Chains A and B, each alone.
Chain A
């Protein structure tokens, strides 16, 4: 079993839709959770990080962590064509290197 899994997509949604992106992880020791956005041929950009179960909101983005299920989500409200990118989740723990999912490719259609 891979440490972090994501549906690779592509996921296509109409502009204005609510997008749900998800990751599962296998090791319950992970304590830190991150979401990155990566445009084509660019480096990943850190969107949000959290280290507790529950929700964390930043503008149109909400990160949700369920440690009991080892499940993390990123919700994008009022999605825009500029949100079209690959979204990577990452997990980590104190003193350990990060582990990243393979990414989900999102297309928001105007």
Chain B
């Protein structure tokens, strides 16, 4: 069966510090991978998606970036965090147009 991992689960970082969140998927090959941010009461905001290694599409211009160095690994990064980057970050994977599976999430607080 497929499993998706995210780490860390919780992170507190000062403004201006770098960020690296990691997501890995097990049990499937060549999945589509996604990064979302969820703010309270505002639903899921798609940040990046990837259909293959090295292929990244950005949905929202911001100071975040994403990379996919391996088929089942997706990384979200920032060189300098802003207060507005606080939120709940979710990684997800899919191999069909009608199912998407989410990871446990990372709660990021920028202070």
- Secondary structure call for the A interface: loop
Number of interface residues of B (CB under 8 A): 21
Specify which of B42, B98, B103 is in contact with A51 (CB 8 Å cutoff). B98
Number of interface residues of A (CB under 8 A): 26
Whole-angstrom CA separation of A43 from B6 in the bound complex: 10
Whole-angstrom CA separation of A63 from B9 in the bound complex: 32
B97 & A93 in contact (Cβ 8 Å cutoff): yes
Contact string, A68-110, partner B, CB cutoff 8 A, digits 1/0?
Answer: 0000000000000000000010101111111011110000000
Q: How far is the CB of A15 from chain B (nearest CB, A)?
A: 26
Known: A34-B100, A98-B100. A103 touches B43 (CB 8 A): yes
Whole-angstrom CA separation of A89 from B90 in the bound complex: 16
A29 at the B interface (CB under 8 A): no
Q: B residues near A, CB below 8 A? A: 6, 34, 41-44, 46, 49, 59, 88, 90, 97-105, 107
